[in-house]
Amino acid sequence: MTETKKDFIDLTQFNKDELIFLIEDGINKKNISSKNGMASVDEDACAKDKILATIFEKPSTRTRFSFETAMYQLGGKTIYANMSDMQLGRGETIDDTAKVISRYVDIAMLRTNKHSTLENFAKNASIPVINGLTDKSHPCQVLADLITVKEKIGDIENKSYVWFGPANNMLTSWIHAAQIIGFELRICSPKDYSVDNNLVSGFPNITTDLDPNDAAKDCDCIITDTWFSMGEEDNDQKRKILEPYKVDAKKISMASSDAIFLHCLPAHRGEEVDADVIDGVNSVVWDEAENRVHAQKSIIRWCLS
Ligand code: CP
Ligand code: NVA
């Protein structure tokens, strides 16, 4: 196993300067990339002659497409696999799978149910491994979100962010970012679906247990996500408890006048967010989705450097 391979598992592996480098690298290269076509190869194509494997245990639209587009723009190729089509379903271990795939490709991205599956794959692979979402975290998405904040508001650190909805993998990566960069993160979740205190204790810039009726006051960025993550059963009781946490026009009106609305998508209009918010003037969700490509390119460049 190579000692020097660079896995991208969680934002916590980076310090502030390193995380800011990844954000700025994404933006800088986005601004100089050629616009001839989505597969136009960048001048400094760092993935020329390289193959990225994208391996999914759960569905995906953005992560799959943005990783493939990112790899083409970096001069490389991709191989997609759904885990249910692989021999894993017939009992081959994740450890053996990682060793075998390391003989075919140069870098791998995995979306897994359990975070431990990703960690075991990374431990047994001799190639860089990227977290494309697990039950614990979604660092690629939050990197794209931070790129979007920087582009739209110009500053990340001295801004205030409010999370509305249940604690989940997205929130964990937002908490990691707040811990590294030091921005104000207000977490507005109902008690039944609140964040584990161990994750936030010792960080005065992160507050919890806020009243959904005034949590958004003067904030710069409102964030939400689906109330039911992939693999989670639909539950009417949970939906009822979360109703006051829906992002609606009233919450947006309390925020700073140029506040932005982020949602990693897929969204459920009328559930976690009203249609007039996600389709309204404060919403930057389409740029956010586009920035997945630029975030993935920054991550792949880092992994291969
Ligand atoms: N936001 C995100 O990761 O989207 P997909 O599930 O479509 O990849
Ligand atoms: N929390 C969501 C994010 C989807 C990109 C999920 O895990 O389904």
Dihedral class, residue 264 (left if φ above 0, else alpha if ψ from -120 to 50, else beta)? alpha
Cis peptide before 244 (omega within 30 of 0): no
Of 67, 143, 226, the residue with max ligand 2 atoms within 8 A of its CB, to mutate for a pocket test, comes to 226
Residues with a CB atom less than 6 Å from ligand 2: 133, 138, 168-170, 225-226, 229-230, 264
The DSSP letter of residue 136 is: S
Largest CA distance in the chain: 55
CB 189 within 8 A of CB 165: yes
Pairing relation of β-strands 51-56 and 260-263? unpaired
CB 118 within 8 A of CB 140: no
Write out the chain's pLDDT in tens, 305 residues. 445 899 999 999 999 999 999 999 999 989 876 667 899 999 889 999 999 999 999 999 999 999 999 999 999 999 999 999 999 989 999 999 999 999 999 999 999 999 999 999 999 999 999 999 999 999 999 999 999 999 999 999 999 999 999 999 999 999 999 999 999 999 999 999 999 999 999 999 999 999 999 999 999 999 999 999 999 999 999 999 999 999 999 999 999 999 999 999 999 999 999 999 999 999 999 999 999 999 999 999 999 99
Q: Which ligand is nearest to the CA of 54?
A: 1
Single out the residue of 92, 76, 73, 74 nearest to residue 84, CA to CA. Answer: 92
Residue pointed to by tokens 């190869």: 41
Of 170, 228, 234, 238, the residue with max ligand 2 atoms within 8 A of its CB, to mutate for a pocket test, comes to 170
Atom number, ligand 2, closest to the C-alpha of residue 228: 8
Single out the residue of 26, 23, 111, 119 nearest to residue 65, CA to CA. Answer: 111
Identify the active-site residue in 138, 176, 263, 301: 138
Q: Is 111 a catalytic residue?
A: yes
Identify the active-site residue in 25, 106, 135, 141: 141
User: Which residue puts its alpha carbon closest to atom 2 of ligand 2?
Assistant: 229
Identify the active-site residue in 264, 274, 294, 296: 264
Q: Is 46 a catalytic residue?
A: no
What is d(CA 139, CA 182) in angstroms, rounded to the nearest whole number? 17
For ligand 2, the distance from its centroid to the CA atom of residue 44, given in whole angstroms, is 33
Helix/strand/coil percentages in the chain, nearest 5: 45, 15, 40
CB 297 within 8 A of CB 147: no
Identify the active-site residue in 62, 64, 111, 176: 111
